[in-house]
Structure 1
Amino acid sequence: MKAESSSAAELLAALRAEGTLERETLDRDYNARATVTAEHFNEEMRRYRQLSQPARAMNSATLDVVYDEISGQTLDIFGAAEPGESLKPVFLFVHGGYWRALSKLDSSFMAPALAKHGIATAVLDYRLAPAVSLGEIVREVRQAIAFLWRRGAHYGINPQRIFAGGSSAGGHLTGMLLANGWQANAHVPENVIKGALAISGLFHLAPIAASFVQDWISLTPQQVTELSPAEDISRMGCPLIVAFAAQEATGFGRQSRTYHKLWREAGHECDFMEIPNRNHFDVVLDLADPETKLSRALVELVRLG
């Protein structure tokens, strides 16, 4: 990470200091489920799966491609180029679920809308906590990017135009894809990702390790530092959109605002979007509707990238 200005140092210090707040405060600030009724939450989970079904019926769908031989995890690809067509840019979507829930079956709802703009979509499974560590989850997601770089052309994807994004825990994992250092070990260029979208993400894990989430994520102090994207702002600094819902739990909004400021403080292009009339769970479904502000912003990100 480049040398911090005083303001960046202050922002990082504030994120770290969050971990010293009372457990009761942190549990409230990071409890997204408490912001909606149980009925509403269950309905949104059904919509994730329901809205993802049309993608799996697309003629261009390629399902269950193993991207990581070690874990055996797979990804699905939608809307890629057919033989004879030019290779297409790809948006890799990383699902949320506080690192312990959901799957790629719930996560392809943006594919039909993106395909209309000539953009392919890839969605992946990663193993979930507490069966594996967060460090292993990060490794697997990074391997998906490496796979698209090495083998994407075989599937109709342009490896020079890889974009990534995710929501909630997927926003955190998107941040870890943008961090420095892993690219050399994965044998990919440092600028392998040409643009990113982080929705309602978690960018510093100090408060997470002091909250109810620690019950299944089991972070050590060293992991809190190593797995916090805010601690390692990318040197390359691809264009980034940081978005969150207006009806978020307080901690998610606070972290999104701070990560946006850190990215800008480092001299990188970063847009910020607070989506009105949305909560932590339905905001990402705006990507299924090509007319929403969030969907249009993603298309523009890829177009300019």
Structure 2
Amino acid sequence: MHLSRLLALPALLLVAVLVLVANEMAQARPSRRFANLAYVPASEAGFDTERHRLDVYAPRRKAAKAYPVVVFIHGGNWNSGNKNFYSFIGRRLAKQGVVAVVINYRLAPGVQVPAMADDCARAVTWTYQHIAEYGGDPQRLFTMGHSAGGGLAALLAADNTLFTRRGLTANPVRGAILDDPAGLDMYDYLRKMQYAGDAQYLVPFGKDPAVWKAVSPLYYVTAATPPFLVFIGGETYPSIRDSSQKFRQKLKELGREPQFAVLPGKKHVPMVLQLYWQNNVIYQELLKFVGAGS
């Protein structure tokens, strides 16, 4: 490479960074962020000062009626991830007339998936009880997640006991948006153990098949389950492709066939990174799904 080209690289990188920063500022202006709100009382034994928190992104403009609400759950293989990385999703949803709630939850190896699901249910319960204070409509509350977060978002929509044991008389989730979801049927997946490295999942899921089934959304869906909007990447992992199709078929048999789309050429991680772009097809369908603007 010529010296002139080498010297040009930092300048080009600086321009790219400035463009991204300017774009983020433009996205941020129409929204307000309320950061690091505790969804578990700080006085409660076991309160995690980092993981038991969420951020609310609300549209700045006043509306004649309350906005729909989307609770976003990050992925990360059940052992990593942080809400702070996904502020771009909160900003873009708020800009388009949705109150977004982006949450943290405890991770492995500190806890296993049942505790993660309980954390997420507590975050949704907090949202249901408080989101009207931020302009959101608790009667139009949806869950959304990518990868491991997609599996948790599905479980929240399907397993009503996650909420009844927390004192709610009914499941507040009106639907779920799944972005390349993992964990829809870990009972089947962990019994087979057919891929290299699958033993790692015995850390977050444990070794009891009854637990694997208890946190698998596939075994909770019924004819009364709320609707699903599902996207998978055309080049995603075979396990995600297969379990998503299986989940789709189960819902279809129950008369609850989801909206389902395969995005050609997309691998697993780009399925969430594409949400950086406001006009992405997932946002287009999500806004209709949650009734934004209506």
Give TM class, smaller chain.
0.7 to 0.9
Report if the CA contact (8 A) 1:180-1:233 is conserved.
Answer: no
Please point out which of 30, 40, 45 is paired with 1:68: 40
Shift of 1:59: 5.0
Aligned residues: 257
- Please tell me whether residue 274 in structure 1 is matched to residue 262 in structure 2: yes
How far apart are the structure 1 equivalents of 2:61 and 2:207? 44
Gapped regions of structure 2 (runs ≥ 5): 1-16
CA distance in 1, matches of 2:60, 2:168: 22
CA distance in 1, matches of 2:169, 2:62: 26
| Pairwise CA distance, 1:83 | 7.3
- 1:104 alignment counterpart: 83
Structure 2 residue 216 is the aligned partner of structure 1 residue 236: no
Superposition RMSD in Å: 2.6
Deviation at 1:155, TM superposition (A): 2.5
Counterpart for residue 204 of structure 1: 185
Amino acid corresponding to residue 203 of structure 2 in structure 1: W
Q: Which amino acid aligns with 1:62?
A: F
Q: Secondary structure at the match of 1:158?
A: strand
Q: Distance in 2 between matches of 1:157 and 1:269?
A: 28
Do the aligned partners of residues 167 and 58 (structure 1) sit closer, same or farther apart at CA in structure 2, a change above 3 Å counting?
same
CA spacing shift, 1:112–1:140, aligned 2, 3 Å:
same
Percent sequence identity over aligned pairs: 23
Structure-2 separation of matches of 1:225 and 1:260: 18
Equivalent-residue separation in structure 2 for 1:138 and 1:239 (angstroms): 20
TM-fit CA distance, 1:234 = 4.2
For 1:56 and 1:138, how far apart are their aligned partners in 2? 30
What amino acid maps onto 1:301 in structure 2?
F
Q: Does 1:136 align with 2:124?
A: no
Aligned to 2:7: none
Of residues 53, 70, 78, the one that matches 2:57 is 78
Measure how far apart 1:249 and its partner are.
1.2
- Distance, in Å, in 1 between the alignment partners of 2:174 and 2:150 is 16
Instruction: Please tell me the residue identity of whatever aligns with 2:91.
Output: P
* Superposition deviation, residue 222 in structure 1: 1.4
Task: Give the alignment of 1:237-256 within 5 angstroms.
Answer: 237-256=225-244
Is 1:214 the equivalent of 2:201?
yes
Match of 1:257 in 2: 245
* 1:287 Cα deviation after fit: 2.6
Quote the offset at 1:136 in angstroms.
0.5
In the TM superposition, residue 263 of structure 1 has moved relative to its aligned partner by: 1.4
Counterpart CA distance in 1 for 2:177 and 2:291 is 14
In structure 2, the partner of 1:33 is none
Q: Deviations over 1:276-305 (max 9, x none)?
A: 121100112233323222221111111179
Structure 1 regions of 5+ residues with no counterpart?
A: 1-46
| Structure 2 CA distance for partners of 1:53 and 1:224, relative to 1, 3 Å | farther
Q: Is the 8 A contact 1:238 1:269 kept in 2?
A: no
Secondary structure in structure 1 of the residue aligned to 2:278: coil
Label 1:150 to 1:235 Cα distance change in 2 as closer, same or farther (>3 A). farther
Contact 2:230–2:259 under 8 Å retained in 1: yes
Tell whether the 8 Å contact from 2:28 to 2:91 is kept in structure 1 after alignment: no
**Aligned residues of 1:142 and 1:177 also touching (Cα < 8 A):** yes
Of the candidates 183, 190, 195, which is equivalent to residue 163 of structure 2?
183
Aligned to 1:14: none
Contact between 1:80 and 1:87, CA under 8 Å: does it hold in 2? no
Return the alpha-carbon distance in structure 2 between the equivalents of residues 59 and 90 of structure 1. 14
Residue deviations 1:230-274 (CA, integer Å, cap 9, x gap)? 111145322211211111111110011111111121111411111
Instruction: Answer with 77-86 or 117-126: which moved more.
Output: 77-86
Asked if 1:165 corresponds to 2:147, the answer is no
Q: Is the 8 A contact 1:149 1:188 kept in 2?
A: no
Larger RCO, structures 1/2 (Cα 8 Å, 6+ apart): 1
Q: Secondary structure at the match of 1:279?
A: coil
Name the SS of the counterpart of 1:61 in structure 2.
strand
Q: In the alignment, does 2:289 pair up with 1:301?
A: yes
Q: Deviations over 1:192-218 (max 9, x none)?
A: 112211122121113246323335222
The structure that has the greater radius of gyration is 2
Return the alpha-carbon distance in structure 2 between the equivalents of residues 220 and 248 of structure 1. 28
2:178 equivalent to 1:193: no
Give the aligned residue type for 1:108. S
